[in-house]
Amino acid sequence: MSLPSVAVSQSPEERFREYLASRPKPQRFTEQQRELVEHIFQKHSHFEAEQLVEELRAAGKLASRATVYRTLTKLVDAGLLRKIEHGPRTIFDHDYGYPWHEHLICEQCGTIIEFQHPGLETVLKDITAQHQFRATGHTLVVRGVCAECNAATAAQRRRLVM
């Protein structure tokens, strides 16, 4: 499923600049951070920090590994990215400019499938209301095995039986 982008009032860069300026100790927006934000939001894809470092190097951009990691943390804090923990991997996903969505992660091949279901939001609203809980966000990651890996396993079993 490919998620459509949603209309937002600010570009990711403008939103990040605003976040940095509004911190208790305002921070400046650097050229390296601008390049990072631009690169990350050029396309909707899940990525790991080291993957981003390599992509930036290949593109001839000079952001240091430390700058990448610090900026990713700030982008998560600013609500622009979502961090998904999957075992030892930390995967980043766009949170800003895309509708709320959940993830299925294949434990064999690492495929990430995005999904939405209106019933899920209804259940979460009911549960939070029942407990008088004011939710500020949630992350649902369902781990398992994708259809392609299931098919490959089934084919392998058939070959062993024959």
Span 72-85, pLDDT tens digits = 999 999 999 999 98
Identify the CATH number of the domain defined by range 99-162.
3.30.1490.190
List the beta strands (DSSP E) in 50-146. 81-86, 89-94, 102-106, 112-115, 141-144
For the chain, how many helices (H) and strands (E)? 6, 5
Known binding site for Zn(2+): residues? 106, 109, 146, 149
Q: How confident is the model at residue 162 (pLDDT cuts 50, 70, 90)?
A: low
Predicted pLDDT of residue 1? 54
Residue 28 or residue 5, greater confidence: 28
Q: May I ask the CATH class of domain 8-98?
A: mainly alpha
Q: How confident is the model at residue 18 (pLDDT cuts 50, 70, 90)?
A: very high
Average pLDDT score over residue span 93-108: 89
Residue spans in the chain of domains classed CATH 1.10.10.10: 8-98
Known binding site: residues? 106, 109, 121, 138, 146, 149
Known binding site for Fe cation: residues? 121, 138
Task: Classify the C-alpha dihedral 68-103-96-125 as positive or negative.
Answer: negative
Task: Specify the pTM.
Answer: 0.82
Predicted pLDDT of residue 2? 64
Predicted pLDDT of residue 27? 95
Residue spans in the chain of domains classed CATH 3.30.1490.190: 99-162
Q: How confident is the model at residue 56 (pLDDT cuts 50, 70, 90)?
A: very high
Predicted pLDDT of residue 80? 95
